[in-house]
Amino acid sequence: MKFAGPIWGIVTQVSKEDIKIFVTHTANRNTMRITDHPLLYHVIGGSAFQTDPIPEDMYCDNLGDNISEKNKSYCELTTQYWAWKNMEADYYGFCHYRRFFSFSNKKLPESEWGTIEYDYLDAKAQRELQLNEADMTRFIQKYDFIIAKSINVRQLGARSVRAHYENAAELHVRDVDILLDVIREKYNFLYETALQYFKGQKFYPCNMYIMKRELFQKYSELLFGILEEFEKRADMSEYSREGYRTPGHLGERFAGIYYEYLIKESKYRLTEVQIALIHHSDAVPEIKAVQTGKDVPVVLAANQNYVPILYTCVQSIVDHVSDENDYKIYILHTDIDQESRTIFTDRLNRENVECIFINVTTYVSGYALQAKQHITTETFYRFLILEILKDYSKVIYLDSDMIIRRDLADLFQIDIGDCLVAATKDPDFAGQCNMKNSEMRQYCQNVIGLKDPFLYFQAGVLLFHVAEFNKVTSTQALFEMADTGIYRFSDQDILNIVCKGRVFYLDMAWNMLFDCDHFRWHNVIRYAPHTILDEYEEARKHPYIIHYAGFLKPWMRLGEDFGYAFWETARRTPYYEKILLNPDIFHGFSSENIKHKASKPTHLVLARKILMKIFKPGSKIRAKLGKIYWDIYG
């Protein structure tokens, strides 16, 4: 995996001391990794329980001398034990896949919990935390022991570290007493410090530290000797799952005891550092396309709310795959949860079909990307194809409100020469532009810059010529165009501007727009040039892809055009009942936007139809009424 804008620079003038910082990951969870970093070693904690394939860049804590099978009670301490027994270093450090040290030379803003918080460990976060080899090395070599910055437990509603432990609902304070007894009897030189630590108010969280070899070796002997004896004396047989993690919780407290003991010793260079909490642990993977001649890459984009409709679309793709090809279905998103992703992969993946979810938050952060009317923000994500899937020569993009009725390999294999994109003409747009006194025609010519408005294409189905596209523009340039907010049909207008003169026009059957609200065909498309109308009506006879583009969808109102095709597929999905019970919410908007969208009262829908019949197409009053309607109910 990689992040946009790598920050690892060439390291100069640093000593050759061996620094190893081990980043613990949870078994069977695909969490974020910083790869190719010379100081970070990613380890699966509890590898004894790992059933998923092991990524090449991960270490396992069940090799060599280990206690990996104790991970359910020892937590990340199994990684520390493994490193102690099996790895050689001058400095040993430990953190978590969602928590990292800050090596910044200045204090960074903290949350009320005392942590620096980021949504993702993107390039900006890495830069602010100074997570590069040179800065990290210079900082670490100044100290013998670095620990996570302490928190005053009064901030956590406790009068002491002991009380903080006692307040935890699933922990048992009697275990603290057992720990103290073990220390008093076997490691008495630490006992006074341990008592003071639990009576005090400074708590060192997260079990995160970096130590020089000699300190780490001594610490590990003490820690695991104490926990071994604790297990002999404690009875955890009836503890809850969190309670069963007691050795891990006690180990976290022991790190603070050891640190405060070394403070008293006054022989070592010690410091506390800020800790960054990363809210989302998944990252954008680097897609390396192997050009075998069999891959058919397909990209869709959606949000969590739209998952049932997205699944139905993908189901229709899978229904028409052929054995001769390998289908990679990439789903770009920012919020689709793990449960939903698992449903896709468990039910739709097969020998030659793979659903791959890519969280693109780090790519789109910083851009407004405000879509208009019934168009969703996720529509802009198709711009990311140029960056994320740049190793592919061609990529198919599909909107999610579609039913696929033909093998997409047939589309992918079309030779489009050096055109930037293959797409169908937009019969709806053509109809609007060909009405008398059409304001849309003026918009097309003056804003989009198309002298011939009938060459405007519909962007719901695209065959991207990625290699050619990257020669003329970039994802960043396209997003910057989107940020202007001047385009009526958002990214579709932008693509028409960029691709002007280099479009391969597909058979309209590849993107057959349904007759939304039983209004589009005979009230808009009928005004298109007769050749475009003929092509549209021919496509309706044998659609390869049915596109439910518009403010109404078959799942929102029964009886919509080609609705039967949607329901034939939907009833075979695990979301069928959910779609039936919640038809109005699956129109693509995020849950926040849905709260503010008005529903369309039946009498207003009827009034709109009457007014559309009274006022002729192209008239100013019709345009004005239409704008008001869509502003409220778009």
Angle (CA) 21 26 30, round 5°? 100
Task: Give the per-residue SS3 of 366-408.
Answer: CCCCCCCCCCCHHHHHHHHHHHHCCCCCEEEEECCCEEECCCH
- Residue 511: how many CB atoms within 10 A of its CB? 29
More confidently predicted of 62 and 613: 62
Question: Tens of pLDDT along 513-533?
Answer: 999 999 999 999 999 999 999
- Identify the residue whose tokens are 């297990």: 231
Q: At residue 553, what are phi and psi to the nearest 5 degrees?
A: -130, 160
- Alpha-carbon dihedral angle through residues 41, 46, 50, 53, given to the nearest 10 degrees: 0
Mean pLDDT of 266-274: 97
Overall average pLDDT of the 260-283 stretch: 89
Question: ∠ CA(379), CA(475), CA(448), 5° rounding?
Answer: 65
CATH number for the region 19-278 comes to 3.90.550
User: d(Cα 632, Cα 630) in Å, to the nearest integer?
Assistant: 5
Between CA 488 and CA 131, with CA 386 as vertex, the angle to 5 degrees is: 110
d(CA 95, CA 540): 58
pLDDT, tens digit, for every residue of 33-72? Answer: 776 799 999 999 999 999 988 888 899 999 999 999 999 9
Yes or no: say if 81 and 227 are a contact pair by the CB < 8 Å rule: no
User: By CB neighbour count within 10 A (0-12 exposed, 13-18 middle, 19+ buried), where does 181 fall?
Assistant: middle
Please tell me the predicted confidence (pLDDT) of residue 376. 57
Q: Identity (one letter) of the amino acid at 627? A: K
Say how far apart CA 119 and CA 116 lie, in whole Å.
Answer: 10
pLDDT average, residue stretch 277-299: 73
Q: Which pLDDT does position 175 carry in this prediction?
A: 98
pLDDT of 476 reads: 85
Instruction: Identify the band that residue 628 occupies on the pLDDT scale cut at 50, 70 and 90.
Output: low
Residue 384 CA to its chain's centroid (Å):
13
Lowest mean pLDDT segment, chosen from 121-125, 160-164, 248-252, 414-418: 121-125
Collapsed DSSP state (helix, strand, coil) of residue 473 = coil
* Buried/exposed 273-286: b ≥16 CB within 10 Å, e otherwise: bbbbbbebbbbbbe
Of the given ranges (8-17, 117-126, 288-297, 449-458), which has the lowest mean pLDDT?
A: 8-17
The dihedral built from the CA positions of residue 533, 537, 543 and 544, taken in this order, carries a sign that is negative
Count of CB atoms within 10 A of residue 202's CB?
17
Would you say residue 219 has pLDDT above 70? yes
Q: Which two tokens stand for residue 523?
A: 């009230």
- Above 60 in pLDDT, residue 590? no
Per the CB < 8 A criterion, the answer to whether 377 and 371 are in contact is: yes
Torsions phi, psi of 237, nearest 5? -60, -25
Q: What is the dihedral of CA 188, 190, 195, 199, to 10 degrees?
A: 180
Confidence of residue 490 (pLDDT cuts 50, 70, 90): confident
Q: Let me know: does 137 contact 11? Beta carbons within 8 Å.
A: yes
Counting beta carbons within 10 angstroms of the beta carbon of residue 352, is it exposed (0 to 12), middle (13 to 18) or buried (19 or more)?
A: middle
User: pLDDT tens-digit profile of 432-470?
Assistant: 999 998 899 999 999 999 999 999 999 999 999 999 999
User: What letter represents residue 342's amino acid?
Assistant: T
pLDDT tens for residues 311-367? 999 999 999 999 999 999 999 998 898 899 999 999 999 999 999 998 887 777 655
H or E stretch covering 296: strand 295-301
The values of phi and psi at residue 436, to 5°, are -60, 140
Closest CA to 299 of 387, 183, 178: 387
pLDDT attached to residue 49: 96
CATH architecture for residues 295-426+457-510+570-597? Alpha-Beta Complex (3.90)
User: Per DSSP, which regions of 126-255 are E strands?
Assistant: 145-148, 151-152, 202-203, 209-212
Check residue 23 and give its pLDDT. Answer: 96
Tokens (6 digits) for 304: 């969590």
The DSSP 8-state label assigned to residue 357 in this structure reads: E
Mean predicted lDDT score pLDDT of the chain = 87
pLDDT of residue 593: 39
- pLDDT reading at 372 higher than 60: no
Q: In 3-state terms, what secondary structure has residue 137?
A: helix
Rounded to an integer, what distance in angstroms lies between the CA atom of residue 507 and that of residue 534?
A: 12
pLDDT at 486: 81
Grade residue 279 by pLDDT with cuts at 50, 70 and 90: confident
Nearest to 59 by CA among 37, 40, 77: 40
Q: How far apart are CA 21 and CA 376, in angstroms?
A: 42
DSSP summary character for residue 168: S
Rounded to whole angstroms, the Cα distance separating 40 from 82 reads: 15
pLDDT of residue 618: 53
Is residue 589 predicted with pLDDT exceeding 50?
no
The domain ranges of the chain are 19-278, 295-426+457-510+570-597, 598-634
Q: Which residues sit opposite 203 in a β-bridge?
A: 151
Structure tokens at 213: 């070899």
Give residue 262's pLDDT: 97
Helices 77-86 & 246-265 angle (0-180, nearest 10): 60
Q: Which amino acid is at 599?
A: S
Calculate mean pLDDT across residues 159-164. 97
Strand partners of residue 355? 329
* 3-class secondary structure, 11: coil
Amino acid 380: pLDDT: 81
Residue with tokens 């980043």: 23
